[in-house]
Amino acid sequence: EIVLTQSPATLSLSPGERATLSCRASQSVSSYLAWYQQKPGQAPRLLIYDASNRATGIPARFSGSGSGTDFTLTISSLEPEDFAVYYCQQRSNWPHSITFGQGTRLEIK
C-alpha cells in the first residue's frame, strides 16, 4: 500500500499570506494525485486532480505541482474561507487502491 505523508501537520498563517502544503508518497504515483479541502461539518471538496489540474469552480489562487513522490499544494494569497483541513489522495491500479494523507490543518494565525 502506498503511504502518503503530509507536512506540516498544522500550518498557522494570516489572510493574504502564501500557503505551501506538502505531500510525499512512499513510492512513485506518477501524477495521480489529488487535493481536497474539508471544513468542519462538511464533506470534502476536490481542489486539484492529476497533480496540477484545478477542479471545476476552484479559484486560481489554488495550484498544485509535483510528480513521482513529491507534491505541493500552494494557495497564493489566503482568503478567510481557505482555513480548513487539506488532504492529498493517490490512486493506483493492480490492485485498485486509493489512499489519503493524514491531513494538514491550515489555521488562522
In the complex, which residues of this chain contact other proteins (CB under 8 A)? Answer: 1, 32, 34, 36, 38, 43-46, 49, 55-56, 87, 89, 91, 93, 95-103
Which DSSP category does 84 fall into?
A: S
Query: Is residue 96 within 8 Å of 44, Cβ to Cβ?
Result: no
Give whichever of 80 and 95 is closer to other proteins, judged by the CB atom. 95
Output the smallest distance, CB 89 to other proteins, in A. 7
Output the smallest distance, CB 95 to other proteins, in A. 6
| CA dihedral sign of residues 44, 49, 51, 57 | negative
Output the smallest distance, CB 60 to other proteins, in A. 18
Output the smallest distance, CB 11 to other proteins, in A. 16
Query: Is residue 55 within 8 Å of 65, Cβ to Cβ?
Result: no
Give whichever of 35 and 83 is closer to other proteins, judged by the CB atom. 35
Give whichever of 14 and 56 is closer to other proteins, judged by the CB atom. 56
Written as one string, the DSSP assignment of 9-69 is: SEEEE-TTS-EEEEEEESS--TT-EEEEEE-TTS--EEEEETTTEEPTT--TTEEEEEETT
Give whichever of 14 and 93 is closer to other proteins, judged by the CB atom. 93
